[in-house]
Chains A and B, each alone.
Chain A
Amino acid sequence: MWTSDPAQTPGNLTCPFCGLACDDLSVAPGPADAGLVLVNGCQTARGAFAGAMAAGPGTALIKGQPVSLEAALAHAAGLLAAARAPLFGGLVTDVNGMRAVLELADRCGALLDHVGADALFRNLLVLQDGGWMTATLTEVRNRADLILILGREVPHRFPRLCERVLLPPEALFSPPGERRLVLLGPAEPGPLPAEFAAANPTLIPVALADLAGVGALLRGLIAGRPVRADAIPGVAGAQLKQLAGWLCGARYAVVTWAAGELAFPHAELTVQAFVELVRDLNRTTRAAALPLAGTLGDLTANQVCTWQTGYPLRSGRQQGRSCYEPLLYRHQDLLAQGQSDLLLWVQALPAANPAATPAAKCPTIVLGYPGLACGRVPEVFIPVGLPGIDHPGHWYRTDAVCPLPLGQVRDLGLASVAGVIGKLSERLGATAE
């Protein structure tokens, strides 16, 4: 719920620690006055929550030295006013944080990129190039009778996917006990989580780099073309034929993947192969893709950017005009090539990877959660609260349809990203609406 009162959210607290945005969490006083702990949710959430609760409110820093918030804001505003080609990166924040980022970017003529945009664009380029057919979590939960999972990390990246979506306790139209799970991906690493293994999934070992070929081959088999099912070395043709039969026979097949795992060049072509496979299936039966994303607010930042500016991320506001260059405005490249003279890094939630802010050569302003590691000592560090812990907010979950309200569980006096940027904007002068 949108509320600052934790007492109002028992069992209804939304988790900001992965793209599933589970909204059934509860907090309770921990043992021996250790502060609040998360009493349910997954291991990832409990760990991240405990980490966040253990940190103090942090302090504003200039060149690593503690200063007043006022001094930090004044210095940051000066840097922003002087910058000619600023880059706003990270963008791990809630809807209102992103609204504020965009207002400031418009004023400063900044380029925008999210920390996880490589993964985001593996999907977005496909949507832009040809479109796709997708479904959302509740739809999959109630309808899927065949679930094809690409890659191997989905269960680890989205810990409660099985419990909440793929194999729920009950469903409207497709009995969970009768669902077929197929994993198409590397045999390693190690065993599957117990709830996945319990569903007795069919494993078809495929190297990630071979997935696009397998997708194309499956399309050929489904279309009844004379393709050789064993054309890809090391991938069992008989299993692919069987899978093609299952896909055609399913009433509602779902193909799912975590683009973050597909970290190899031109992985968008892999995504597209399976998106087109889904569209082929829809000629005779029903099927949908379920792209898994949303972790660290990539979808949140992108949604707000798209409605406010008309362009997705990897766009900018130079010379008072919008420009969009998904292949050129990768923040890692811009920083490596020295194309930016100021980096504003916004990160209100912890990330496992990268664990620290970029070590940019240009001066850096960091708006970070308390305890955020910096790759290089920034010119200015301003601590910000975690959305969903320090302040209410909104947050998109993986299907990009349902922005969920985030609650608040403590008050350390930490400002939100929106609050800090609002103060920076005030210092930079009158605002365009």
Chain B
Amino acid sequence: MLTRLAGGLIYDPAQGIDGEVRDLFIRDGQLVAPAPGEDPDHTYDLRGKLVMAGAIDLHTHIGGGKVNIARTMLPEDQRAHCRARTALTRTGGGQVVPSTFAAGYRYAEMGYTTAFEPAVLPMNARQAHMEMADTPMLDTGGYAMLGNDDLLLQLMSEGVGQEVINDYVAWTLKATQCIGIKVVNPGGINAFKFNARKLDVDERHPHYPLTPRDILRTLSRAVAELGVPHPLHVHASNLGIPGNQVSTLATIDAAEGLPIHLTHIQFHSYGAEGDRRFSSAAAVIAEAVNRRPNVTIDVGQVMFGQTVTVSGDTMRQYANHQHAHPRKWTCMDIECDAGCGVVPFRYRDQNFVNALQWAIGLELFLMVDDPWRVFLTTDHPNGAPFTSYPRLIRLLMDRGFRNDCLAQINPEAAALSNLGSLTREYSRNEIAIMTRAAPARILGLADRGHLAPGARADITVYHDLADPEQTFARPMLVFKGGELVVEEGAVTRVVRGRTQVVRPEFDPAIEGRIGRWFDRYHSIRLANFAITDTEMAAGIGSPVTIHPCNRRST
């Protein structure tokens, strides 16, 4: 069956199409170029509508142990955001930590078709994938956390060669069914287990003869040499600490020119100036990003209201627990692997620090020149729930609205920000870059994020409204793999997604080494740690799609 999407305004930055009227054709779940004269079986009249590829969220905490702890701790989020059962959809709501079903429906209702959980603890990978398998409407994937696991730190301390590290990294991707590697507070989560409360980029770990810089260099090199498309995904040291711009710049340098992605960089762009010893360092960080083409970032924008912070960074979550709102918090040391911390939080527009955090995020968006290297995230739910994306898009596209909002925040914070002087307004094309084309490119997903023949028919059609928030909050149509799944912002068909992975090659001899380590120190057998493709499909319920790597020589 051939379906024609006729007459829409196409925004497809990957092909350089910026708001041109074109027809698209779908067959068998893919975009196709039909033979001349071939008649479509069905045509949607999209004249005057905006057409983009399905949106991709490259950093959103939608699955895994820490999310479920947050759900457990916040039944009030469910009570406040009920979502009743329908003939099609399951019961269960929530906003800052929605049920898996609600997360899938809400994402689709905003035109998203793919999302990535950025903090998969290897020991908890099964749970992350089970939760994502139960998140309908979306293809999903995860980044495996390394860099605080005792095995990596031990191997590095022993001075093994880079090839051994590369094998271990590649094996981890396979065993955990992930698409990228993330490092959270390199070495810091581990150091907290030895009672360190802080670990700077060049500070020696309390137990291992290593610094965070060593870990960053080693892991970014492994990811690059294995040809994993997504650069090392870095949650830098010193999250949230005034003056952390210094360690953020040091973190960027630690990659030594290799690709590096700094996530939720808003939380890492703080100066320590002014009476309150807290200031914006967005200009410095944006300038550093602009100058270094090896660097990509996502922002982790703060939006005001109740949320919950969930993070692998136990060191920083523990330090922040006195800010918990409501007053409850959880930290966990996990399996000589990593950790997690859950701290509910309310961002207030009249609070000096929170207001400045909001402004810093927007400054970063507006001062980083290349929309291919900055991604739209709130680090859901850490800065705000993902449901605030349409409002965030309006803040980027509409300077008048932005300045109105700026006038309402804590005046002291507003006075310290240069946000009011930034005149840039994002175009639709730039929004399409940062939410579609660029995430697909940086994750190595050739099959999506664009609308060329051969792509998966993940397509979102928006009404062309004056207010971009309204436009992006409620798509007219969403197609997932060629099937119409959302109409006028409501789910009309429920589909299940697949898990997106990469599989770089490695020398299987590494398994012997890892197996001996497991036998001596762990409480799980290696054979039970690794997740097979059969298990993904038959047991967990989300079959894998493997994307290619381009291995470089070591």
Do A and B come from the same complex?
A: yes
Query: Which A positions have Cβ atoms within 8 angstroms of B?
Result: 1-3, 9, 11-12, 14, 23-24, 95-96, 99, 103, 106, 124, 127-139, 141-143, 164-165, 170-173, 251-252, 282, 285-286, 288, 303-304, 306-312, 317, 320-322, 324, 392-394, 400-405, 430, 432-433
Question: Quick check: A324 and B100 within 8 Å, CB to CB?
Answer: no
Q: How far is the CA of A133 from the CA of B343 in the complex (A)?
A: 12
Given A96-B539, A309-B92, A432-B90, does the pair A172, B333 have CB atoms closer than 8 Å?
no
Q: Shortest distance in angstroms between B406's beta carbon and chain A's nearest beta carbon?
A: 34
A2-B539, A317-B85, A405-B528 in contact; A310/B77 too (CB < 8 A)? yes
Number of B positions contacting A (CB below 8 A):
77
Interchain CB contact under 8 A, B528 and A404: yes
Q: How far does the alpha carbon of A165 sit from the alpha carbon of B524 in the complex, in Å? A: 11
Shortest Cβ distance from residue A279 to the other chain B in the assembled complex, whole angstroms:
9
Shortest C-beta distance, B201 to chain A (Å), equals 23
Contact between chains at A433 and B88 (CB < 8 Å): yes
Query: Distance (Å) between the CB of B384 and the closest chain A CB?
Result: 18
| CB closest chain-B residue, reference A99 | B134
> Which A-chain residue is minimally distant from B75 (CB atoms)?
A324
| Beta-carbon contact of A310 and B336 below 8 Å | no
Binding site for A on B (CB under 8 A): 63, 65, 67-69, 71-73, 75, 77-79, 82, 84-94, 97-102, 121, 123-124, 126-127, 130-131, 134, 136, 150, 192-195, 207, 318, 324, 327-337, 342, 494, 496, 520-525, 527-528, 531-532, 534-535, 538-541
Residues of B within 8 Å of A127, CB to CB, are 69, 72-73, 330
Q: How far is the CA of A171 from the CA of B92 in the complex (A)?
A: 43
Q: Which of B97, B193, B331 contacts A310 (CB 8 A)?
A: B97
Say yes or no: A132 contacts B90, CB within 8 Å: no
Residue in chain B with minimal CB distance to A169: B520
Known: A1-B528, A288-B332, A401-B65. 18 other contacts (CB 8 A): A3-B534, A103-B90, A106-B91, A133-B331, A135-B332, A138-B523, A141-B522, A286-B192, A303-B127, A307-B100, A307-B134, A309-B92, A310-B99, A320-B86, A400-B65, A403-B126, A433-B101, A433-B136
A138 contact set on B, CB distance < 8 A = 123, 335-337, 521-524
- Which A residues are CB-close (under 8 A) to B528? 1, 12, 14, 23, 404-405
- For B121, B194, B521, which residue has the most chain A Cβ atoms within 10 angstroms? B521
The answer to whether A394 and B539 touch (CB under 8 A), given A308-B90, A310-B99, A403-B126, is yes
Contact of A402 among B98, B195, B335 (CB under 8 A): B335
**Min CB gap A408→B, angstroms:** 11
Complex contacts, A2 vs chain B, CB 8 Å = 531-532, 534-535, 538-539
Beta-carbon contact of B523 and A165 below 8 Å: yes
* Given A106-B91, A311-B78, A432-B86; A401-B335 close (CB under 8 Å): yes
Q: Indicate if the CB atoms of A24 and B525 lie closer than 8 Å.
A: yes
User: A128's contact among B75, B123, B127, B131, by CB below 8 Å, is which?
Assistant: B75
The minimal Cβ–Cβ distance linking B45 to chain A, given in whole angstroms, is 29
Verify B523–A171 contact, CB threshold 8 A.
no
Q: Which residues of B contact A141 (CB under 8 A)?
A: 521-523
A308 touches B342 (CB 8 A): no
Out of A9, A106, A173, A304, name the residue touching B90 (CB < 8 Å): A106
Residues of B near A1 (CB, < 8 A) are: 527-528, 532, 535
Task: State A130–B77 Cα separation when bound (angstroms).
Answer: 16
- Which chain B residue shows the least CB distance to A14? B528
Q: Which of B86, B328, B332, B532 contacts A136 (CB 8 A)?
A: B332
B residues less than 8 Å from A14 (CB atoms) = 528
A322 to B418 Cα, complex, angstroms: 45
Contact of A309 among B91, B126, B328, B531 (CB under 8 A): B91
Residues of A within 8 A of B68 (CB): 303, 306-307
Residues in A with CB closer than 8 Å to B192 are 286
Taking a contact as CB atoms under 8 Å apart, the answer to whether B524 and A404 are in contact is yes
Chain B residues contacting A430 (CB-CB under 8 Å) are 87
Q: Which of B91, B195, B207, B335 has the most CB of A within 10 A?
A: B91
Are B87 and A143 neighbours in the complex by a CB distance under 8 Å?
no
Nearest residue, chain A, Cβ from B331: A133
Contact B535 A128 (CB under 8 A): no
B523 near A401 with CB under 8 A, answer no
- CB-defined contacts of B328 to chain A, threshold 8 Å: 128-131
Chain A residues near B124: list those with CB within 8 A: 401-402
Question: Contact at B330–A132, with CB atoms within 8 Å?
Answer: yes
Q: A106: shortest Cβ distance to chain B, in Å?
A: 5
Closest 3 CB pairs of A and B: A2-B535, A310-B99, A433-B494
Complex-state Cα separation, A400 to B102, whole angstroms: 23
Chain A nearest CB from B405 CB (Å) reads 30
Whether B91 lies near A405 (C-beta < 8 A) is no
Chain A residues within an 8 Å CB radius of B78:
309-311, 322, 324
* B65 x A310 contact (CB < 8 A): no
Chain B nearest Cβ from A147, distance in angstroms: 15
| A286 pairs with B327, CB closer than 8 A | no
Question: Can you report 26 A-B residue pairs in the complex whose CB atoms are below 8 A from each other?
Answer: A99-B134, A106-B85, A106-B90, A124-B72, A128-B73, A131-B73, A134-B332, A136-B332, A141-B522, A286-B192, A308-B100, A309-B91, A310-B102, A320-B91, A321-B82, A322-B78, A392-B539, A393-B539, A394-B126, A394-B130, A394-B539, A394-B540, A400-B65, A403-B127, A430-B87, A432-B85
Q: How far is the CA of A264 from the CA of B336 in the complex (A)?
A: 35
A173: B residues at CB distance < 8 A: 194, 207
A134 to B539, CA, bound (A): 29
| Contact of A322 with B334 in the complex, beta carbons under 8 Å | no
The reply to whether A405 and B539 form a contact with Cβ atoms under 8 Å apart is yes
For residue A136, which residues in chain B have a CB less than 8 angstroms away from its CB? 123, 332-335
B326 CB, min distance to chain A CBs, angstroms: 10
> Distance (Å) between the CB of B424 and the closest chain A CB?
39
With A and B bound together, what is the CA distance between A138 and B534 in angstroms? 27
**Across the two chains, which residue of chain A brings its CB closest to B132?**
A307
Measured CA separation A109–B17 after assembly (Å): 49
Using CB atoms, name the residue of chain B closest to A128.
Answer: B73
Which residue of chain B lies nearest to A275 when distances are taken between CB atoms in the complex? B330
Contact residues in A for B126 (Cβ distance below 8 Å)? 394, 402-403, 405
Closest to B196 in A: A286
State whether B101 touches A308 (Cβ < 8 A): yes
B195–A23 contact, CB under 8 A?
no
CB distance from A400 to the nearest CB of B (A): 7
Closest to A396 in B: B127
CA distance A406 to B146 in the complex (A): 26
* Smallest CB separation, B268 vs chain A (Å): 25
Check B521 against A12 for contact (C-beta < 8 Å). no
Chain A residues, Cβ within 8 Å of B539: 2, 96, 392-394, 405
In the bound assembly, the distance between CA atoms of A24 and B528 in angstroms comes to 9
* In the bound complex, CA of A393 to CA of B520 (Å): 26
A401 contact from B88, B194, B334, Cβ within 8 A: B334
Nearest CB on B from A389, distance (A): 16
Q: Name the residue on A nearest B136 (C-beta).
A: A433
- B288 CB to closest chain A CB, in angstroms? 35
Q: Is the CB of B150 within 8 A of A402?
A: no
Q: Which listed residue, A12, A95, A142, A311, touches B525 by the CB 8 Å rule?
A: A12
- A165→B335 CA distance, assembly (Å): 11
CB distance from B75 to the nearest CB of A (A): 5
**Chain A residue nearest in CB terms to B520:** A170
Q: Looking at A24, A106, A138, A285, which has the most chain B CB atoms within 10 Å of its CB?
A: A138
Question: Measured between alpha carbons, how far is A158 from B324 in the docked complex, in Å?
Answer: 35
Closest to A252 in B: B193
Q: How far is the CA of A12 from the CA of B333 in the complex (A)?
A: 25
Contact A312 B72 (CB under 8 A): yes
Expressed in whole angstroms, the Cα–Cα distance for A404 and B524 within the complex equals: 8
